[in-house]
A and B are shown apart, each in its own frame.
Chain A
Amino acid sequence: MKDKIVFSRRNFLRTSALASGGILIGVNFLNACAEAAQPPVDVANLDFKDFNAFIKIAENGYVTIFSPNPEIGQGVKTSMPMIIAEELDVPWDHVTVEQAPLNTEKYSRQVAGGSQSIRAGWDSLRQTGATSKQLLINAAAERWGVSAQTCTASEGIITNEEGETLGYGEVVNDAAKMEVPENAVLKDPKDYKIIGKNAVNVDIDAIITGKPLYGLDFKEEGMKYATVMRAPAFGEKLKSYDDSEAKTVNGVEEILQFGDKIAVIATNTWAAMKAKRKIKVQWEPSGNLEGSALHSQKLDAILDRKDLKVEREDGDVNKAFADADQVIERTYESPFLPHNCMEPMNFYANVTADKVYLVGPIQTPAGTASQVAKLLERDEKDIDLQMTRMGGGFGRRLYGDFVLEAAEISNLAKKPVKVVYSREDDMTAGTYRPSIKYRIKAALKDDKVTGYNLKEAAINSNMYGLIPNFFPAGAIANYKVETGNYKSDISTGAWRAPYTNFLAFAEQSFFDEIAGELQIDPVQLRLDLLDNVDEGADERIEYSASRMKDTIRLAAEKGNWGSAEPGIHKGFSAYYSHNSHVAEVVSIGMQNGFPKVKNVTVAVDCGIVVNPTGARNQVEGGVIDGIGHAMYGYFPFEDGRPKAENFDSYRLIRMQETPVVDVHFVENTLSPTGLGEPGLPPAGGALANAIKAATGQRLYQQPFINSFEKQKLQDIKV
């Protein structure tokens, strides 16, 4: 299976001879290179406006990959260079990955982020490596005066038919003067030497020795620290404030109002935080001061409506329900959830007459830079936004509200400032996973599921993209998904595995109930339903029934599904999201009437696994995150205010509640897909199903802890 690829060198790859010796290859994965774009002749002048990455091959054959792509924690800074190195065919320990230094002021705005990186980059990264390798082979062939087709390269060494060899480093200076080849042959996956082997996180040394990496660590000469006071309730605005006491705090330079917010600018973080608490503010209503009880009523009212938006409809659902032997209907409810990245939101801004210089952790640099330009009425060319490593994202850093705050404060104060959120700011300033209710109804006839109707009622916005076409779409002939929403002043946004993080819980709990009614094993029910799917018949259906079945069987086998163990109760769940298929078996025991999650066995089909240690880490984390939030994530509102604001009142899963996660990958040679998110959605459903098996109690509301009275929030022991 040799995959021949042809594409124009003008479109993606340029070379230059380095002044110090060696070759520098500039790559643009996403767009065609500009006509005049040329890599520099020294690596101190890397310019990421024209290229996404640079590959330097030195005269000793060692390879350095320079990338401006920062990390949010999903490991692409390690796995993406592995793909280049594989096709370039160099030993991984000859490869260094460097994040281009922050002070180059030449960061790309073309960088993609999020869980699609590997999937989107798979072809172009392989092509980059393969084309670079061919270029080096061509240089060696010319030196020997033989045809390049008679030469091969492996592990950084080129060999001809006579058995003569040249190291990559010996031909780099010649290669830098040669034409970039138009075509290159990609490896057969069975020949992979780097892909599929464990590679430790390339930033590990800096992380474990405490080097400055994150936005909060960034400093510049003359920089001030700013904290921001925002309305404590959604639906409130600023009426008046008295900052006389706050101004007396040592280190405070200035307190200023912008919109309905107040900024404290100080010479150090502590002074800015302390002074903020001393501002006496009066707020007044600007909208509805809503609470969770009201939201629950509003969402129920939406579920009762007959005129919801139809997202997908197959067959005749009404007839299926009219003809049914039995109809099951259940409603599931989730709270809002804050993201709680460990690194609180922060951003540096230095707005001057010449330019707007922004540095910090953000997943959407291009869109955010445009928003800043608009806010400050500046030309987009004036905006220079640089990214740092991110202390978690989970969706929160898709939204640049804190970048806008930093830019506005710097613009008003005419100083370089770094806005720093306290944990309380981070948890109460908004952009939550929306509170959602699902009502699911199934028609059962002759021991089959003949009809399915899912209604989603959500705060602010609904499921998007192809989600209405996820399983069981295609598996049940009469199928309908409907949505509606209630607009609230409480701000909402993407949260790790948006919508599916709760939808999967609802559906996977519901299938367990159907299996119970039909007196069939829950795993078998899913396999039977998948047998109904006519694969490839509907292009909106992305999941593969055959891959899903293999994944389900692997999880069932590895998780010893169906075998009884004393004191252990199991739950099953399977879900496709973010282009990967995942199935999970959760095993729990009961301790003093409380569920103790012991093990989670996970099967994943994400195609080729580029970096197994990194991939496992993502799945382990996603599963534990899913278990943790299903179990403990509770974020109710009253009078427009969240009732939790720090980790003493908001519970995250901790070490002693953590199960052992055992990850198995389905082995195949299909293109790789993302892993940052797909492990999470099935976890909550599998846990709920295990709790049902253990206690007989079926849970319809997250978090589950609220169903176990004795263990409510006051029991958090740290």
Chain B
Amino acid sequence: MATYTLKVNGKKVNVEADDDTPLLWILRDELNLVGTKFGCGIGQCGACTVHVDGEANRSCLLKASELVDHEITTIEGLAEDDDNLHPVQQAWKEVDVPQCGYCQAGQIMTASAFLKENPAPSNEEIRKAMHGNICRCAAYNRIEKAVALASKK
């Protein structure tokens, strides 16, 4: 066990964890940030996507020891507050994307990081960017629409 100081959603937090503990479980079990979801544990489904220094990363594959001095953002910290949603969240709402909703935080985190890199993507670019995130309910048509809509906000 070691103690790490992480910066999560703009706040410094101290966590005690084994050095191989994935960020996913630190967020969920230690920091009570359960919006980041567990789906596969091997970086294949995207449900656990968070931003590290603004880039989309799979939190199930990140170790606390690698994250000191980096800015971590989770779905809980994407918007300033619930009354000022991120454009991607607004678009998600307008398009009425979710069914079961479980994968949506990961989808939104992937989409928001992607749009920062590529603010005016083509549909092909959107489909490629979102390919790593599985939606078992297959709300893919709406995810694509919502990302396109968010890019125009």
Contacts and interface: CB of A to CB of B under 8 A. Distances in A.
Contact of B136 (A203, A268, A340, A718): A340
Given A210-B35, A621-B99, A205 B82 contact: yes
10 contacts: A207-B105, A270-B25, A270-B29, A342-B37, A342-B137, A343-B37, A343-B100, A423-B39, A647-B42, A658-B138
Contacts of B39: 342-344, 423
Interface residues of B, number: 61
A653 B102 contact: no
Contacts of B138: 620-625, 628, 653, 658
A-B interface, 9 closest residue pairs, ranked by CB to CB distance from nearest: A210-B35, A391-B102, A73-B100, A210-B75, A624-B138, A647-B44, A207-B101, A73-B99, A217-B34
Given A209-B82, A652-B136, A204 B93 contact: yes
A198 B96 contact: yes
A204 B96 contact: yes
B133 to A, nearest CB: 7
A72 interface: yes
A621 B30 CA distance: 35
B110 to A, nearest CB: 10
B56 interface: no
Contacts of A371: none
A655 B101 contact: no
A207 B130 CA distance: 18
A45 B102 CA distance: 29
B103 interface: yes
A244 interface: no
Interface in A208-225: 208-214, 216-217, 219, 225
A389 to B, nearest CB: 7
A208 B96 contact: no
A656 B127 CA distance: 5
Interface of A: 71-75, 198, 200-201, 203-205, 207-214, 216-217, 219, 225, 250-251, 268-271, 273-274, 340-344, 389-394, 420, 422-423, 613-614, 617-618, 620-625, 628, 646-648, 652-656, 658, 660-661, 718
B67 to A, nearest CB: 15
Nearest to A209: B82
A646 B35 contact: no
Given A204-B92, A270-B22, A423-B41, 9 more contacts: A205-B93, A225-B29, A269-B28, A344-B38, A344-B39, A389-B101, A655-B127, A656-B131, A718-B132
Contact of A250 (B1, B37, B127): B1
B148 to A, nearest CB: 13
Contacts of A225: 29
Interface in B89-117: 89, 92-93, 96, 98-105, 108
Given A344-B38, A391-B100, A646-B42, A617 B139 contact: yes
